[in-house]
Copies of this chain bind each other. A is one copy, B any other.
Amino acid sequence: MLHAMREEEENGRVTLAQVAEEAGVSVSTVSKVLNGRQDVSRPTRLKVERLLEVHGYQRTPKSAWEAPLVEIVFPELDNLWAMELIKGAENVAKEHGASVVLTESGTRHAPDPSWIEGVLRRRPLGVVLVFSSLPLEVKQQLRSRAIPFVIIDPAGDPEPDVPSVGSANWAGGLAATRHLVECGHRRIAIITGPEDMLCSLARLDGFRSAMGMAGLEIPPGYVSFGDFHVEGGRRRAMELLALPERPTAIFAGSDLQALGVLEAARVHGLKVPDDLSVVGYDDVPIAQWTSPALTTVHQPLRQMAEEAAQMLIRMRAEGGSAARLELATSLVVRKSTAPPPAA
């Protein structure tokens, strides 16, 4: 007990014994809550969690793991770019003798509550979350267990108090549009992503800026919002190509939407790039295999996951607070863009 008190004096930390006393439960019950065990009643668990939070309890990290794990959690694995993120996390984990645990959970906004219980039992080195936000409760639970976490946030809408890795969406939209302008296009349309995602808006603003800087107008109907998937891209492109003055180039906002644009062009009997230029976004692996190969904005997904995993390892070793890392995007010119057809 003397030891525990001194420890607290020394580093300002509350001990398990103090939390147990205040909660009126045994130390072993507090320990069970910390380890995510299920044999504690819900009211007790909530009481203990609240006390851990109030006192800012921080478990001392274990110095060595028997079987070190890095967790990566996705809202959905369907996404083509999930594999690139997994590969990035796997590269860094392997370097550190750790394995990657993969979970598909929740919605775009946050993982399921059940996920957190598993994490507390597994006690990974750290957690990479591919979500734009995280419930306060989850943040506190991870913090009190000294499990570092980083958000990978291609949506570009990170919370200020959470370490996150993103990429430069506005600059990407600008680069894609400038390329089309430099090819000689004047009638350029955009299909960006969903209206409620900051990355969609940032890419659209980059598009608007490039058009403005080139002195080009954006005709009515030339800006549309997709869903980042093939079908949404196809539907929006069918509308754009049916306009009385149809665009000679479409910036598709994502590679999947660009695939939909290619299909719409085929249905309209338009050759890409002779009749219509198309630029994608993301540079997922299939972008190089479409016919024709897709000019697109490279989002360094693998590198983003590598940076996120590295941040975890550093936070684990040195502690550390919220940081935001934004990696550069770059234009990859392939074969889906060319000068517009002669008028």
Chain A contact residues, CB within 8 Å of chain B: 35, 66-67, 69, 77-78, 80, 82-83, 86-87, 90, 94, 97, 99-104, 118, 121-123, 230, 256, 259-260, 262-263, 265-266, 285-286, 288-293
On whether A104 and B122 interact (CB within 8 A), knowing A289-B259, A289-B263, A291-B262, the answer reads no
Contact with A86, one of B77, B285, B289 (Cβ below 8 angstroms): B77
Contact B118 A90 (CB under 8 A): no
On whether A83 and B77 interact (CB within 8 A), knowing A102-B99, A291-B291, the answer reads yes
A-B contact pairs, 6 of them (CB 8 A): A77-B87, A80-B285, A80-B286, A90-B102, A259-B290, A263-B292
Chain B residues, Cβ within 8 Å of A285: 78, 80
Chain B residues, Cβ within 8 Å of A82: 83
Which 9 A-B pairs have CB atoms at the shortest separation, nearest pair first?
Answer: A67-B121, A67-B122, A259-B289, A266-B291, A262-B291, A230-B289, A100-B102, A263-B291, A99-B101
Q: Which residue of B lies closest to A99 (CB)?
A: B101
Chain B residues, Cβ within 8 Å of A80: 285-286
Chain B residues, Cβ within 8 Å of A103: 90, 99-100
Contact B77 A104 (CB under 8 A): no
Contact B121 A104 (CB under 8 A): no
Chain B residues, Cβ within 8 Å of A122: 67, 69, 99
Contact A101 B100 (CB under 8 A): yes
Chain B residues, Cβ within 8 Å of A66: 35, 121
A87 to B74, CA, bound (A): 12
Contact B256 A289 (CB under 8 A): yes
Q: Which residue of B lies closest to A271 (CB)?
A: B266
Chain B residues, Cβ within 8 Å of A94: 104
Chain B residues, Cβ within 8 Å of A293: 263
A101 to B260, CA, bound (A): 34
A82 to B83, CA, bound (A): 8
Chain B residues, Cβ within 8 Å of A262: 291
A87 to B79, CA, bound (A): 11
Contact A77 B90 (CB under 8 A): yes
Contact B83 A104 (CB under 8 A): no
Contact B118 A104 (CB under 8 A): no
Chain B residues, Cβ within 8 Å of A78: 83, 87, 285
Q: Which residue of B lies closest to A120 (CB)?
A: B67
Chain B residues, Cβ within 8 Å of A256: 289
Residue among A35, A99, A104, A262 with max Cβ neighbours from chain B (10 Å): A99
| A286 CB → nearest B CB, Å | 5
Contact B101 A86 (CB under 8 A): no
Q: Which residue of B lies closest to A263 (CB)?
A: B291
20 more contacts with CB within 8 A, not counting A99-B122, A259-B290, are A67-B123, A69-B122, A82-B83, A83-B83, A86-B86, A86-B102, A87-B104, A90-B103, A94-B104, A99-B101, A99-B103, A99-B118, A100-B102, A100-B103, A230-B289, A259-B291, A263-B291, A286-B286, A290-B290, A290-B291
